Amino acid sequence: MGLATLRRLVQETLSGALGLLYPPECALCGRPLNDDLPQGPSGFLCEGCQQELGRERLKPPYCVRCGEPLPPSGIDLCRGCALGRVPFERARSYGLYEGRLARLVRLFKYHKEPALAGALSSLLAEVVAREGLEFEGITYVPLGRRRLRERGFNPAERLARALGKLCGKPVFPALRKARETVPQEALSRRERLLNLRGSFAPLGRARCESVLLVDDVYTTGATVRECASVLREAGYERVFVVTVARTPHPRSSPAERGSPEEVEA
């Protein structure tokens, strides 16, 4: 018996014993999970929280290109996509970064709960199926070495690999972080663009014609736009983007208003 097999058996035995002593609880509300009732994605959520999460699903109208929520005005493009260059085909998210969905993402990212990738990837798979996204392979937004050491894992990679198992698609690294950048959270939209410019580089030539780029949260879109641009330059003809959540642009407005200079993209 190999060492890896022995470790796996020990982990499974310990996991089973702990499950008997401490019944699994819902990741969000802490209620014990009842085996007799339907459970949430990958068994991490109780039925009630799963239903609430379903209500947080993003519904139209939203921009046909980037998925930005729009007012019910009949216009199908947000200002940024109407006036700026968009390097990806479509970007879609399961819901807005608020409520139970935001709590689940924060548990996954900041409280070092990588096992929740299974729960979140099932939401991504739902988006892929609902939107009819067709692609040949899956990749993800890379982390720099410093951030990877601090966090211990790459959330986008965990999501991508879990999604690949659900979709039956190959998952591979297509990008690397060419230089370290300042954390995006404290920056304005324009500062985010400047901060990320030239920060990603391709890992070789394109492996296929169409690829799905995975990340956890779409905030201003600066990160996925930069990544998608690099992927296109590397030879990927079509790039789709999927994230668990997105933060709506506070200045979302119909395409007629605004000027090209104001547009992030």
Q: Are 171 and 164 in contact (CB under 8 A)?
A: yes
Q: Token pair of 120, please?
A: 């979140």
What local confidence, expressed as pLDDT, does residue 202 receive? 95
Count of alpha carbons within 13 Å of 157, Cβ hemisphere only?
13
pLDDT at residue 264 greater than cutoff 60: no
What's the rounded mean pLDDT across residues 31-44? 65
Banded pLDDT at 45 (limits 50, 70, 90): confident
* Residue 218 in domain: yes
Rounded to two decimals, what is the model's pTM?
Answer: 0.81
pLDDT at residue 98 greater than cutoff 70: yes
Pair (24, 100) in one structural domain? no
* Residue 3 in domain: no
* Residue 2 in domain: no
Q: Are 176 and 205 in contact (CB under 8 A)?
A: no
Backbone angles phi, psi at 154, to 5 degrees: -100, 110
Pair (73, 123) in one structural domain? yes
Closest by CA position to 181, among listed 145, 224, 139, 214: 145
Q: Token pair of 20, please?
A: 């008997």
What's the rounded mean pLDDT across residues 31-35? 77
Domain containing residue 76: CATH number = 3.40.50
pLDDT at residue 194 greater than cutoff 50: yes
Q: Are 173 and 203 in contact (CB under 8 A)?
A: yes
Mean pLDDT of the chain: 81
What local confidence, expressed as pLDDT, does residue 199 receive? 74
Pair (29, 151) in one structural domain? no
Pair (13, 131) in one structural domain? no
* Residue 55 in domain: no
What local confidence, expressed as pLDDT, does residue 41 receive? 62
Q: Are 211 and 231 in contact (CB under 8 A)?
A: yes
pLDDT at residue 203 greater than cutoff 90: yes
15-19, 70-74, 104-108, range with greatest mean pLDDT? 104-108
Pair (117, 186) in one structural domain? yes
Instruction: Count Cβ atoms below 10 Å from residue 262 Cβ, excluding itself.
Output: 14
What's the rounded mean pLDDT across residues 69-84? 90
Locus of tokens 């998952």: 171
Q: What is the 3-state secondary structure (H, E, C) of 210-224?
A: EEEEEEEEECCCHHH
What's the rounded mean pLDDT across residues 24-41? 72
What's the rounded mean pLDDT across residues 194-202? 74
Banded pLDDT at 193 (limits 50, 70, 90): low
Domain hosting 125: range is 60-262
DSSP 69: B
What local confidence, expressed as pLDDT, does residue 242 receive? 98
Per-residue pLDDT tens for 131-144?
999 999 999 999 98
Q: Distance between the two ends of the chain, CA-based, in angstroms?
A: 55
